[in-house]
Amino acid sequence: MPVEKEEVTSEVETKKKAPIKKTAKTSKKEKLFVQKTCAVDEVRAEAKFIRISPIKVQRVANVVRGQSVEKALFMLKRLPHKGARILYKVLFSAASNASHNHDLNGHPLKISTLLINEGPRLKRFQPKARGRIYEILKRTSHITVGLKSAKGE
């Protein structure tokens, strides 16, 4: 009885990890090839446990949310807030990730997600009169920046 070769078919979608439709067993090389040829939805950069209140960073983030990367970096460089300096570094890191890791050098990039979340609070105590203590909460922030290519819009 002659054995026929089974064909391997795979479908690439525009997601980070493309699902592979299997009609037969696929090799590891084919799986890696499919994952590398997929288009990237979003390029991200995160900064965690930053010692600034999330409210202070949120105030700056509302100014640049939805802007192009070049315009946002220009604005953040000139704002006189501590949160602007921190957000500038994270946004610059995300743009560098896009150019170095995902080969998006000439593509115009746009800020798609800009999340400012509260991190853990450092608890410190201040002694007060009559043997009492006053609790001081030092807040921290988690900052996440996501970039997308603005070419499709």
Q: Which domains does the chain have, with CATH numbers?
A: 43-152 (3.90.470.10)
Give the C-alpha separation, 123 to 117, whole Å. Answer: 18
8 A C-beta contact, residue 18 and residue 11: yes
Confidence check: pLDDT of 47 > 90: yes
Between 130 and 28, name the one with better pLDDT: 130
Which tens digit of pLDDT belongs to each residue from 120-152? 999 999 999 999 999 999 999 999 999 998 776
High-pLDDT (> 90) share of the chain, %: 60
Q: Residue 105 has what pLDDT?
A: 79
Confidence check: pLDDT of 56 > 50: yes
Query: Can you read off the two tokens belonging to residue 30?
Result: 């084919």
Task: Supply the pTM of this predicted model.
Answer: 0.70
Determine the length of the chain. 153
